[in-house]
Structure 1
Amino acid sequence: MVKFKEIKSKTVLNKYRYRDNWFWCRYSINPYRGCQFACNYCDAITEKYLVHENVEDFSRVIHVKINAPELLEKEIKRVRKDVIALNGVTDGYQPAERKYEISRRILEVIRDNNFPVHIVTKSDLVLRDIDLLSEIAENSWCAVTITIITFDKKLRPLLEPFAPSPERRLSAVKELVNAGILSGVDFTPIVPYLADGEENMRDVIKRVSESGARYILPGSMTLRGNQKLRFFRLLRENWPELIENYEKLYGNSDSPDRRYVANLNRKAFEFCRRFGIPNYIPPPRFERPLRENFDVANVLLLIAYFKEMRSGDPYSAWAYHKAAENIERLDRGIRDLYVENELDRIGSVGKSIAQTIGEFLDTGMSKKLERLKTEW
């Protein structure tokens, strides 16, 4: 039986050092700690995130931040406008939300302060708040990404025992899109040896494309600390013959071999191209100071995203992340620096990145980025 532990948090709005180039968020909020969906691949039980004394309580004792909306009302006024991820670790629309409505109240604060938001969830409960999401989308920017990793009726209950069915989730994506809200699917994690076959990848990407989803984000699976212990227990109970394969694939790393990841991303890219669905989220657009700086930073972050997909290494294009961050921190317009031939004064902006910036400022596009979107 699940227990709810009501707590009062000291802070609620977490700021990332670098803006995320998958979900475009600068901040995150976790209304709950612990998650009732109890997915057996979940990385939120790793020591980095865990607040429970006993890891087995992660899905049985849900910490509810009952003062989160009130805290956000104060904290949001002290930060620069940027995308807030509603749940950075655990699901903000797990069953606890039906009782407490913390996520809805947070959305009200976000709407009232004209901030953009990105929700990532496995639950169609998000449709309850479609009124607020529509208002945020109209006045700022809003995206809702719903996780789906398989439609296999035998596999899914073992991986996601208490989450809503993928059919319900995909139906929610369709309803959100029809309401004018940017919505798509997070195809993460693609579980090695269980969900990384061409049949499953084709099935998921095809169905998502046919639903009208605006994008799909394929991603590999990490195995860290408690997450690895839990997942290997699942393997021992159901697929003991795969343990050796996993040990070889991951070795001493938290992530699979980079060649495996790059090949997985390539297969996903090819299916996305075949079925006509982007494998990325278009950068957000909303009013903020030095808007052109923000647009340039978005181009660099999206180039980094595609480079990282191709290499299978999330750090292979880190210079682009650093350059984008430094551009966002400028207290003057980047066009002035470009006109004065002083782009090299910006940290991490070398010759190649400077050329990309100049091309974008001159033409409003980047040939490098357009090529990365369409070619492997």
Structure 2
Amino acid sequence: MTTEHGAPTLDDVARAAGVSRSTASRAINGGERVSPEAQAAVDDAVARLGYSPNRAARSLVTRRTDSIALVVPEPDARILTDPFLAGVLRGVSEGLTGTELQLVLLLSRPDERPGHIARYLRSGHVDGAIVVSHHRDDRLEPELSRSHLPAVFVGRPFKPEGLHYVDVDNVAGGRTATHRLVERGCRRVATITGPLDMTATLDRLEGWRAELGEAGLPADVVAHGDFTAAGGAAAMEQILDEHPDIDGLFAASDLMATGALEVLRARGRSVPDDVKIVGFDALGVAERTTPRLTTVEQPLVQMVSVATSTLLDMLAGERVADEPRILTPHLVEGETA
């Protein structure tokens, strides 16, 4: 139903409900300081008139944007090629099904000044944020810690005090991968890390070192990658040039493991006969390698589900636990170790 002027207005709803315009506005935008009788009358008038509130005007009243940000401080190309980042995007989007929230994707640009994304979040453009693949110097941690914006990190922050996050136990994952190599007889075990300004990298590296230390084996063959196949290949070339005697490799991501496999094949090294490999992620890449990659599972679906539901609870004003959710990694059998 419409009025003679076209679409029904807030004044039309107020008249039909027998309440003031301000009462009708409050009832439509959250029901604060509205009696049950007035709320019911406004709800009935909205339904009868087919009234649709102006979202811009609603945001002025509620100070809500009905949008949340998925913050990925990485170049846009990584979203398309990295199964972890693509899985996070898909999972958060699916987690918002049934809500009226829109998803805003925030990526880094090559020419972007440090702190640009943090300033955007602080300016009230979104109601909350999920942060993934953050780096030490992107300023997200201190800015979100000081702000009142509800936020959840996927991955341990460097300074987690006052921040909500969910993560996999990356130290345990690094140990699990390295333990498999040691128990398979490897005595010269190398690792390819991710970027050293990320907590996942440092934790997986710590697990690798701890496991080799307990086995009484040297932990001196380290090359740094960037969680990409090209980075894994370059790191593998470096390792073979400097340490041709390696017989085991823990690659801190499956994409880097695929690059390492190509280099080993080109250098005439057989996997797993000459060099055994364990990766990390189990997000589809390991199933497509030849031989099929042995890897450590990162429970991404559960991580994203927990992060999204936690943020929704925060937006609803519900109390959420201060303690982080740390999930357990598991070895996924393959043919490379």
Q: TM-score, normalised by structure 1?
A: 0.30
Comparing both structures, which one devotes a greater share of its residues to helix? Answer: 1
Comparing both structures, which one devotes a greater share of its residues to strand? Answer: 2
